[in-house]
Copies of this chain bind each other. A is one copy, B any other.
Amino acid sequence: MAKKIILNEKDLPTKWFNLIPHLPGPLPPPLHPGTRQPAGPDDLAAIFPMNLIEQEMCPDSWVPIPEELLKVYSIWRPTPLVRADRLEQFLGTPAKIFYKNEMVSPPGSHKPNTAVAQAYFNKVAGVKRLTTETGAGQWGSALSFATHIFGLGCRVYMVKCSFYQKPYRKSLMRLWGGEVFPSPTDMTNAGRQILAKDPDTPGSLGMAISEAVEEAATNSDCNYSLGSVLNHVCLHQSIIGLETQKQFESIGLKPDVVIGCAGGGSNFAGLAFPFVKEKIDGRDIKIIAVEPAACPTMTKGPYRYDFGDTAGTTPLMKMHTLGHDFVPAGIHAGGLRYHGMAPLVSAGIKHNLIEPQAKHQLECFEASVTFARTEGFVPAPETSHAIRAAIVEALECKKTGQEKVIVFNFSGHGHFDMSAYDDFFDGKLHDYDYPKEKIDAALASVPQVE
């Protein structure tokens, strides 16, 4: 078998897959933050274009990918499916381990799959510029890349502590023409209110979302763009899993275990949802979403309505949540430090289609080092969670002798996270757990709906 299973550009999927109509029950609708009634398309129109709102609420299984977007995807897609045979040998497992390599995009992660789609549909709708938030900078750099391709402006509110700790993802945004500000700023009401209470706040994703949403809502030529969580984001990311299905088909295999790390849920959803459909249709398949133990949204947070941002300005979504003002510990997997989880992933957990797992930081870094020393490529700290889970599954096969086929999403490279590896080798990293009291306290501010 070849090391890399490669598709031709003519085999690029031409439609995205939508999980919504296949769920065993209806997906609970978003609620208006004021009225707490189901939010209609018009309630979202202040910050999203109607074509994306239609995708967000789409009842169809398939949504065509526009020709112009397929051309942009071809810059880095189809991405390779890689047999991690060197890792298998190191582990001494009879399992076959594969990874879908999403690091090959210009920004180095899966994020541009939806960034270019969102930029395209906003452009078509006549929007001139986009605002967004970013934590470690993966999403901000992907959207800067995407908006530049379609000639839109881009303003990124970057969580303040990351702005100063991760200067090079900021440089990347600048290279692609994005404007970046350390959030909270004094440019928005939300930012000014937060700064008035705590001028030295390190910032958080929830705060940065509040700022980006406010700017989009109060400027008519400007929309907001979110890099995860929402249904249309999961839709765009489905191209990952659709390619993976074709790649396995080309070598006559089907995965028994499908794994992705999950912060907001989009890279996991992208790989997993086409396989969730196979599971709904009756195939025996284990689908694992891996989160950090330091931010245990799926494994310890309840499934209930909550806001997407700190200020409580977004619609309420039914999801696993740790409370919208929960601030997780400063782990290096910045992209997994979000209080909520995609409503579609949350619903998949409720219907027992998806198994959530939580992993600690140190075991994940260990897994990343093992991966880099066998397969070569350097994983992002987020990706290390998926690798850890894959190694655990493979070692289980070693015990049982089962020759399972395991696939995980290599969501991004760690080239801009090398200081995290230094901290790991220098013994500076610690594991974090959240005691129940702390979670209960954070949940106290979540509105009671239902």
Interface residues of A (CB under 8 A from B): 2-4, 6, 8-10, 71, 74-76, 86, 104-106, 108, 145, 148-149, 167-168, 171-172, 174-177, 369, 372-373, 375-378, 413, 415-416, 418-419, 421-422, 425
Q: Is the CB of A422 within 8 A of B174?
A: yes
Q: Is the CB of A415 within 8 A of B108?
A: yes
Nearest CB of B to A348, in Å? 32
Q: Which residues on the B side are within 8 Å of A86 (C-beta)?
A: 75
| Known pairs A106-B377, A171-B422, A378-B106; A372 contacts B176 (CB<8 A) | yes
| Known pairs A172-B418, A418-B172; A145 contacts B8 (CB<8 A) | no
Docked pose: A145 CA to B373 CA in angstroms: 8
Nearest CB of B to A357, in Å? 25
Q: Which residue of B has the minimal Cβ distance to A105?
A: B376
Docked pose: A425 CA to B179 CA in angstroms: 13
Q: Is the CB of B168 within 8 A of A378?
A: no
Q: Which residues on the B side are within 8 Å of A149 (C-beta)?
A: 376
Q: Which residue of B has the minimal Cβ distance to A372?
A: B175
| Known pairs A9-B2, A168-B418, A378-B106; A369 contacts B74 (CB<8 A) | no
Q: Is the CB of A425 within 8 A of B174?
A: yes
Q: Is the CB of B108 within 8 A of A3?
A: no
9 tightest Cβ-Cβ pairs between the two chains A and B: A106-B376, A415-B415, A168-B418, A171-B418, A3-B74, A2-B9, A106-B377, A171-B422, A75-B376
Docked pose: A416 CA to B418 CA in angstroms: 10
Nearest CB of B to A148, in Å? 6
Nearest CB of B to A362, in Å? 16
Given contacts A104-B104, A175-B418, 19 further A-B contacts (CB under 8 A): A2-B9, A4-B9, A4-B74, A6-B8, A75-B375, A75-B376, A106-B372, A106-B375, A149-B376, A167-B419, A168-B415, A171-B418, A175-B373, A175-B378, A175-B421, A176-B373, A415-B415, A415-B416, A416-B418
Nearest CB of B to A141, in Å? 10
Q: Which residue of B has the minimal Cβ distance to A106?
A: B376
Docked pose: A376 CA to B112 CA in angstroms: 11
Nearest CB of B to A10, in Å? 8
Q: Is the CB of A172 within 8 A of B373?
A: no
Nearest CB of B to A387, in Å? 14
| Known pairs A2-B9, A8-B2; A171 contacts B419 (CB<8 A) | yes
Q: Which residues on the B side are within 8 Å of A419 (C-beta)?
A: 167-168, 171
Docked pose: A421 CA to B169 CA in angstroms: 12
Docked pose: A422 CA to B86 CA in angstroms: 38
Docked pose: A6 CA to B79 CA in angstroms: 12
Q: Is the CB of A175 within 8 A of B369?
A: yes
Q: Which residues on the B side are within 8 Å of A148 (C-beta)?
A: 373
Q: Which residues on the B side are within 8 Å of A425 (C-beta)?
A: 174-175
Q: Which residues on the B side are within 8 Å of A175 (C-beta)?
A: 369, 372-373, 378, 418, 421, 425
Nearest CB of B to A181, in Å? 16
Q: Which residues on the B side are within 8 Å of A8 (C-beta)?
A: 2, 6
Q: Which residues on the B side are within 8 Å of A2 (C-beta)?
A: 8-10, 74
Q: Which residues on the B side are within 8 Å of A75 (C-beta)?
A: 3, 86, 375-376
Nearest CB of B to A337, in Å? 22
Q: Which residue of B has the minimal Cβ distance to A146?
A: B376
Nearest CB of B to A323, in Å? 35
Q: Which residues on the B side are within 8 Å of A375 (C-beta)?
A: 75, 106
Docked pose: A444 CA to B172 CA in angstroms: 44
| Known pairs A108-B415, A168-B418, A416-B415; A177 contacts B378 (CB<8 A) | no
Docked pose: A369 CA to B148 CA in angstroms: 12
Enumerate 13 A-B pairs (CB-CB under 8 Å) in ascending A order: A2-B10, A3-B71, A75-B375, A106-B372, A106-B377, A106-B378, A171-B419, A174-B421, A174-B422, A174-B425, A177-B373, A415-B415, A415-B416
Nearest CB of B to A118, in Å? 17
Nearest CB of B to A203, in Å? 21
Docked pose: A425 CA to B415 CA in angstroms: 21
